[in-house]
Amino acid sequence: EIVLTQSPGTLSLSPGERATLSCRASQSVSSSYLAWYQQKPGQPPRLLIYGASTRATGIPDRFSGSGSGTDFTLTITRLEPEDFGVYYCHLYGSSPLFTFGPGTKVDIK
């Protein structure tokens, strides 16, 4: 079973700052199947990044993804107030078939 670990648990930043979120897999995984989602309170998740680095439709270019093997990163350059929420990494192809990380909460100061 592959486990995804996200760090930090919470990130408190001011608008305009850069946010760097980490997702680590317990063993090497295919970057093709690594995705990132944003979830705001009371809303469903929204796909941000798929294939580790490809932005989903309509996602601003301040969001970017990178990484390979066991270490993946979501970067938000120039945080906007609407970027608060919880960010989850997600993997297809392990056991279980789909796995979510525990999430990183981004608080806007």
CB of 24 to other proteins, least distance (A): 16
CA distances, 55 to each of 25, 37, 75 (Å): 21, 11, 12
Question: What's the rounded Cα separation, in Å, for the pair 70 and 89?
Answer: 12
Nearer to other proteins, 12 or 32 (CB): 32
Find the shortest distance in angstroms from Cβ 63 to other proteins.
14
| 37 lies in the site for other proteins, by CB under 8 A | yes
List 20, 51, 53, 62, residue binding other proteins (CB under 8 A): 51
> Interface residues with other proteins (CB under 8 A)?
32-33, 35, 37, 39, 43-47, 50-51, 54, 56, 88, 90, 92-93, 96-103
